[in-house]
Amino acid sequence: MTETESHLDHYLNSSLDNYIQETAQLCAQPSISAKKQGMNACADLVVQILERHGFHSQKFETPGNPIIIGRAQGGSERTLLFYNHYDVQPPEPLELWTTPPFEPSIRDGALYARGAKDDKGEFIARLAAVDAARTAHGGSLPCNITFILEGEEEIGSPHIAQFVREHIDLLKSNAAIWEEGGIDYEGYPGTSLGCRGILYVELEVETLKRDAHSGGAHIIPNAAWRLLEALSSLKGPQNEIRIPGFYDQALPPSSKDLELIEALPDFETWARDTYGVKEFVGGLSGKDLNRAIFNSTCNIAGLSAGYQGEGLKTVIPARASAKVDFRLVPEQDPEDIFNKLRAHLDREGFADIDLKKVGEMWPYKASADDPFIFLSAHTAESVYQRSYRLTPLTGGSSPIYAFADPLGGIPVISAGVGYADNRTHSPDEHVRLDDFLNAARHISRIIYGFSDLS
C-alpha cells in the first residue's frame, strides 16, 4: 500500500461513524417521488450536506422535483462528475419491515432504512471519499468534483435529460461515476458497461359505469377478464414479446459482450437462494441466465381489480388496471415501443384498453477499453483484493443516456456501497458498514488518480 492509500484509509477508518450518522440523518427524511412526499425538504437537506462538505451548491427548480448541483474546485483542469438521486421508492409493504423505513436503525453491522443503499448511502459514501482525498492531498482536491442529484430517478427521471442539455456549462466533465456500484453476489468488485432502457406504462380498462353483482356475470362484461386478455396478447408461449416490430431496433450481443459474459461466473445458485426461485423464466439455468440479460422484458409490476379485502364479495369489477414495465436493450427506443404497443392493442381488438405512459428511459452502452475503466479496475483490485469484473449490460435502467452523449461521450462507470442482498426497492433495505467503507476507499483512490489520466 502506498503512503497516500494509507492516508486515505486512516481518514476513512477513523471517521466512518460520522458518515453513517450523516446517512441516517438523510434517510430519516422521507422523499418518495412516486407520492410527492417530502421532496422539497429532502432537497434542502442535500444542499446543506453538500455545503457542509465544501461544495458550492445550487438548487434548481424543475417542472418536477428540484435538481441540485454541487461543485468543488481542485488542483487540475480535469473534472469528475458524480450522479446521485435523493428520491426513494415507496416503502410498502410496511408490515414486512423489521424496523420502520424512515427510522434508520443500525444492527448486525448494517444501517437499515429506505434509501440506506439506494441512493442516500451511495451519496454520503462519495462525500466521505472526497473528504478523504482532500485530507490526504493536503487540504485541497486533486481534481474538480461536481455532484448532480435529482429527485425523480425512481419515477423515471422525466426532467433530467432536458436539464442536462440546458446546463452543459455547469456539468462539463471528463468522466462520471454513476449512482451506485459495489460488489457482486460473490464479493467481487466490478462495473457494468451499460444498462437497459425502460418503458413503464399503465393499462386500464372500464367495462361498466360501476361494479355489478356477479349474479349477472353471464352477460355483464368483466373488466378483470378484459384486462387479462389484453395482457395475455403481449407475450407468446416462449415469453417472446408479441408486439409487432418490438425487436426491430434491438442489438444482439457483440462478440466482446459474449466474451465478457463467458468470463463471469453463473449466478444460478445465488439467485435461487436469494429469491427462493424454483424455476427461472423460460426454464433457463447456468450461463444462459447471464446471457438472458440481452432479452428485453415485459414485466407486470402491479395488478388491481375488484374486491381485494378479506373474505368474499361477489362483484363484477367495472375497472381493472395493470402497471407494466418493458426493459429495453441497446438501440430500442421507448417512444417507438410505446407507439408499437398502442398499435398492437388496437390491431388485436383492444382499442378499449386505455394506455398511459408513466416513465421512459433509453438504454446506454460504453466501450470496454477506456482508461477510466482501467483506473477503476486497478484501484478496486487494491481495495477489495479481488479481480475486477466487467459486465456488458445490467438489467435495471438509469438516465445515463441523458449525460453521456450531451457531455461528449464521456465514460460512465459504477462504484459504490452495494452488495447482492441490499433489498433495494424492498422491505429491510440496508447498507453494510464494511461495504460503505470500501466504497469510500475505492472512490477516494479514483479521485486521487483521476488528474493523472491522459
Identify residues 39-78 at the interface with a copy of itself (CB under 8 A): none
Which of 59, 78, 167, 235 binds a copy of itself (CB under 8 A)? It is 235
The answer to whether 323 contacts a copy of itself (rule: CB under 8 A) is yes
The answer to whether 225 contacts a copy of itself (rule: CB under 8 A) is yes
Closest Cα to residue 391, out of 418, 370, 372, 368? 368
8 A C-beta contact, residue 415 and residue 83: no
Which of 63, 77, 169, 219 binds a copy of itself (CB under 8 A)? It is 219
Q: CB of 51: closest distance to a copy of itself in angstroms? A: 30
3-state secondary structure of 420: coil
The answer to whether 1 contacts a copy of itself (rule: CB under 8 A) is no
How many CB atoms are closer than 10 A to CB 279?
9
The answer to whether 213 contacts a copy of itself (rule: CB under 8 A) is yes
Residue identified by cell 466504497 is: 439
Cβ distance to a copy of itself smaller for residue 138 or 309:
309
**Residue count, binding to a copy of itself (CB under 8 A):** 91
Distance CA 66, CA 121 (A): 20
Which of 77, 95, 108, 310 binds a copy of itself (CB under 8 A)? It is 310
Which of 16, 217, 420, 453 binds a copy of itself (CB under 8 A)? It is 217
**52 φ, ψ (degrees, to nearest 5):** -55, -30
Name which of residues 419 to 448 contact a copy of itself (CB under 8 A): 423-427
Closest Cα to residue 168, out of 148, 194, 151, 142? 148
Which of 210, 255, 369, 454 binds a copy of itself (CB under 8 A)? It is 210
Distance CA 198, CA 323 (A): 13
Cβ distance to a copy of itself smaller for residue 383 or 393:
393
**Interface mask toward a copy of itself for 120-159; x: CB under 8 A:** ----------------------------------xxx---
Distance CA 177, CA 123 (A): 11
The answer to whether 281 contacts a copy of itself (rule: CB under 8 A) is yes
Name which of residues 335 to 374 contact a copy of itself (CB under 8 A): 352, 358-359
The answer to whether 95 contacts a copy of itself (rule: CB under 8 A) is no
Q: CB of 433: closest distance to a copy of itself in angstroms? A: 23
**Cis peptide, bond prior to residue 119, ω within 30 of zero:** yes
Which of 35, 56, 107, 165 binds a copy of itself (CB under 8 A)? It is 35
8 A C-beta contact, residue 159 and residue 62: yes
The answer to whether 188 contacts a copy of itself (rule: CB under 8 A) is no
E strands along 318-408, which residues?
A: 319-328, 354-361, 364-365, 389-391
| 126, three cell numbers | 462519495
**190 φ, ψ (degrees, to nearest 5):** 170, 180
